[in-house]
Amino acid sequence: MRRIWFVILLTFICFAGMGQGTPTRTIFAYGGGFTRQFMSYVITLTKKENPKICFLPTATGDNANTINQWYTACEGLPMRGYVQRAFVASYTDSKTFEDNLLGMDAIIVGGGNTLNMMAIWKAQGIDTVLRKAYNKGIILGGGSAGSLCWFQGGTTDSRPKDLSIVKCLGFIQTSHCPHYHSEPLRKPLYFDNILQGRLSPGYAIDDKAGIVFENEQYVRTVAIDDKSNAYYVSVVNGQVDEKLLPVTEILK
């Protein structure tokens, strides 16, 4: 009789644990700035009603205009919008970055100066918090600096005079090039950096296209028009190879 009850208990424990697997780690990287279509798509990725979505405007120094533009893009969407500023004070902020960010369903990073953003995140420990959010299954996303930050690195206009290479968080272990077709210097420089081994092969994205990654693997390409695309750029037989990643959905 004890053996029967033991088997029943063991079966119950096994079935109880089946729905508690490791969360899916998801990143939605798009090539340019946030749009209403992209924010609406982030909502669907959370698979929740009225999700909590937080905007990180660090790359623009928490610029008020950028924050207002984000709220405007999200106006009327079925979500609860929040902003996490990096320029804060202990006297006015009673919760830590971890307290705020790990309670979100999605975190969106804005464009701007990638180099400065990475430095601030590391100084404040936000980079560590974002890794925890990623492992927890909180949707991470963004465009421009907000897409570049999730990869090993890529080219940035964060320094004077010339585009240069910046190292980023490395959640996705490839390089990345945002603004692929809208900024003429981006594509040839990206090709040369990959060909010369200064950057690893990686993903290039037009401003109005985006890529979904799950558990560090490419899943799909989406876009908000039929002229925007994403690509995987690598070296094959000593030559740069640009592989089109076909758009599977036009966002409305």
Domain positions in the chain: 23-250
How much is the pLDDT for 43?
A: 98
Q: CA dihedral defined by 176, 152, 188, 198, rounded to 10 degrees?
A: -160
Mean pLDDT across the chain? 92
- Could you give the percent of the chain with pLDDT greater than 90? 84
> Going by DSSP bridges, is the β-strand pair 172-177/202-205 parallel, antiparallel, or unpaired?
parallel
CATH top-level class for 23-250? alpha beta
At 91-128, the pLDDT tens digits run: 888 899 999 999 999 999 999 999 999 999 999 999 99
Which residues are catalytically annotated?
144, 179
Which tokens hold the place of 93?
A: 């902020």
Which tokens hold the place of 245?
A: 């990643």
Q: Contact, 141 vs 30, CB < 8 A?
A: yes
Q: How confident is the model at residue 2 (pLDDT cuts 50, 70, 90)?
A: low
Q: What angle do CA 31, 35, 39 make, to 5 degrees?
A: 100
How much is the pLDDT for 181?
A: 94
Type of residue found at 141: G
4 or 214, which is more confident: 214
- Could you give the percent of the chain with pLDDT greater than 70? 92
Mean pLDDT in residue range 76-86: 97
Q: How confident is the model at residue 155 (pLDDT cuts 50, 70, 90)?
A: confident
Run of H or E including 204: strand 202-205
Task: Classify 106 as helix, strand or coil.
Answer: strand
Q: What angle do CA 132, 137, 139 make, to 5 degrees?
A: 100
At 3-62, the pLDDT tens digits run: 554 444 444 434 444 446 899 999 999 999 999 999 999 999 999 999 999 999 999 999
